[in-house]
């Protein structure tokens, strides 16, 4: 049998469609597919304008990378773009099964490592144990701090969020199949509804994921129908991203509190959800359950992975009292790939099974 070529070669494909080269990572089990090359230029004077442009003109890139047969309905991605902010090292657009998020904490933790290791930021000074990576997300500038050794990433990453705040607390929502349910809504770069799973007759630690997903999706739909989301800075940020079901343990404890996030089109986060941890910390601080610089651990009911978070300082976001939240977690590399398209493939842009 002939040996395969020593240098990887792309299989036959449409020469008019560049191969999409990616690096795959995960943070606490939640995947991140980072586009290295092959994505057409994303046009726009601002990051939010670029987000709108990609949604309108380049959505086939998202579908090809996120959907089957190259991805799956819970795949997550990132397209790196130039930022208009002078302090940003890079800009990023987040991709998921439904569209484009405003913030993604697990992705920021992974991108911090990636940016340092792939030379997207200046090498830290000799002997430095941490490197700064300023990442412009659609919600704003997020500072990531990457543990390093010899100029390469080495260990966990932490980030400082955009201003996070509680939008509504003890909101009574009529959820079909569950009756009246008390819901909190908070912002951590994206808006989430928070509900104790117990109020829905479920246990976030032992109930089947499918049942948790159905209940969370019902809450999301009910909140969207009965409550208007507003953000003081931009209408582009004023949408409910998903619902996070918790174990109800909101009072401070040194023991981890467990949650599961269902976002976009019933996409289940495998990690504790970085922007969700940010929003949950802001909510707990708003309720007086947490003090500044009190660190809490947040555990994913899907994988058991853990992020830590703490409110580091008070700020304002419009008229809202807000906090900057620090979230820490560990990202890992899983591989690289090049994805191609054949011109006669009827499923070239991907598909999802319901």
272: enclosing H helix or E strand: none
52 three-class SS: helix
Residue 109 · residue 144 · CB < 8 Å: yes
Rounded distance, CA 256 to CA 63, Å?
A: 36
Q: How far is the C-alpha of 215 from the C-alpha of 202, rounded, in Å?
A: 9
Residue 231 burial (C-beta neighbours within 10 Å; 0-12, 13-18, 19+): buried
> From CA 105, how far away is CA 96, in angstroms rounded?
14
104 is catalytic: yes
**Mutual angle of helices 274-286 and 105-117, in 10-degree steps:** 130
What residues have CB less than 8 Å from 345, skipping those under 6 apart? none
Give the active site residue among 104, 148, 261, 317: 104
Enzyme catalytic residues = 104
């Amino acid at each position: 049998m002939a040996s395969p070529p020593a240098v990887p070669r792309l299989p036959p494909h449409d020469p008019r469609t560049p191969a999409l080269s990616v690096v795959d990572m995960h943070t606490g089990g939640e995947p991140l597919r980072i586009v290295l090359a092959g994505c057409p230029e994303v046009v726009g004077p601002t990051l939010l304008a670029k987000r709108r442009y990609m949604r309108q003109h380049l959505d086939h890139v998202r579908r090809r990378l996120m959907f089957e047969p190259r991805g799956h309905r819970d795949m997550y991605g990132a397209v790196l773009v130039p930022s208009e902010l002078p302090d940003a090292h890079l800009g990023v657009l987040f991709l998921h099964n439904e569209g484009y998020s405003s913030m993604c904490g697990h992705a920021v933790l992974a991108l911090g490592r990636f940016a340092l290791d792939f030379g997207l930021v200046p090498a830290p000074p000799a002997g430095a144990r941490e490197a700064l990576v300023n990442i412009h997300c659609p919600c704003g500038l997020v500072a990531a701090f990457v543990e390093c050794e010899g100029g390469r990433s080495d260990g966990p990453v932490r980030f400082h969020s955009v201003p996070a705040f509680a939008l509504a607390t003890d909101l009574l929502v009529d959820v079909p199949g569950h009756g009246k349910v008390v819901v909190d809504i908070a912002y951590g770069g994206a808006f989430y509804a928070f509900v104790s799973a117990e109020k829905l007759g479920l246990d976030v630690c032992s109930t089947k994921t499918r049942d948790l997903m159905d209940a969370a999706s019902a809450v999301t739909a009910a909140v969207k129908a009965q409550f208007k989301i507003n953000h003081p800075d931009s209408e582009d940020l004023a949408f409910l991203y998903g619902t996070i079901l918790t174990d109800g343990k909101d009072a401070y404890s040194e023991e981890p509190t467990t949650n599961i996030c269902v976002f976009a089109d019933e996409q289940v986060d495998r990690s504790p959800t970085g922007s969700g941890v940010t929003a949950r910390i802001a909510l707990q601080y708003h309720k007086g359950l947490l003090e500044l610089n009190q660190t809490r651990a947040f555990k994913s009911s899907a994988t058991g992975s853990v992020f830590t978070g703490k409110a580091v300082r008070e700020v304002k976001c419009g008229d809202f009292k807000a906090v900057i939240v620090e979230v820490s977690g560990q990202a890992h590399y899983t591989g690289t790939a090049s994805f191609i398209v054949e011109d006669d493939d009827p499923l070239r842009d991907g598909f999802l099974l319901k």
